């Protein structure tokens, strides 16, 4: 279900990830998929990496129909409920592109300072 939406949507992106990798992440419990369907057709999907300290929304895609109905809000609502039920203290919504920051604001997200770097060898 995830792949049927992700693959066509990701064709326009600079990078896509192979289906076996995504399936393996889900199979071993390192990722979860949340999907929204209308008339049994998936229209919006999220793939979220699951960790002990936080969950991170890694990949998301929608069909044109999903965008028209703003279906991703329902997928994120299901994600937040699952994270809370699992005791996950934080959900990282990932990097913002396009109207991503406005979308996150509508979800109640707030900015936080993040740092990055490499661990010493």
Q: What is the CB neighbour count within 10 angstroms for residue 48?
A: 27
Q: Is residue 89 part of a domain?
A: yes
The Cα 16–Cα 65 span in angstroms is 22
**Structure token digits, residue 51:** 């960790």
Which positions of the chain have pLDDT values less than 50? none
State which residues form the domain around 73: 2-9+16-93
Kind plus residue range of the DSSP H or E element containing 23: helix 19-27
Q: How many domains does the structure of the chain reveal?
A: 1
Q: What was the pLDDT predicted at 99?
A: 59
Residues 104/76, Cβ–Cβ less than 8 Å: no
Q: What is the CB neighbour count within 10 angstroms for residue 13?
A: 11
Q: Is residue 109 part of a domain?
A: no
Q: Is residue 111 part of a domain?
A: no
Q: Is residue 103 part of a domain?
A: no
Q: What was the pLDDT predicted at 110?
A: 72
Strand segments, DSSP code E, in the chain are: 31-38, 41-50, 55-62, 91-92
Q: Is residue 115 part of a domain?
A: no
Q: Is residue 79 part of a domain?
A: yes
Q: What was the pLDDT predicted at 53?
A: 84
Q: What was the pLDDT predicted at 101?
A: 67
47-73 pLDDT, tens digit per residue, is: 999 988 889 999 999 999 999 999 988
Has this prediction a pTM greater than 0.85? no
Report the CATH number that the domain containing residue 39 is assigned in CATH.
3.40.630.30
């Amino acid at each position: 279900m995830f792949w049927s939406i992700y693959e066509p949507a990701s064709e326009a992106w600079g990078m896509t990830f192979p289906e076996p990798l995504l399936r393996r992440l889900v199979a071993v419990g390192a990722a979860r998929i949340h999907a929204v369907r209308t008339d049994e057709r998936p229209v919006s999907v999220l793939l979220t990496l699951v960790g002990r300290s936080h969950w991170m929304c890694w990949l998301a895609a929608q069909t044109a129909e999903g965008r028209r109905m703003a279906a991703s809000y329902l997928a994120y609502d299901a994600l937040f409920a699952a994270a809370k039920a699992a005791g996950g203290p934080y959900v990282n919504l990932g990097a913002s592109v396009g109207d991503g920051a406005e979308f996150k604001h509508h979800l109640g997200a707030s900015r936080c300072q993040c740092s990055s770097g490499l661990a010493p060898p």
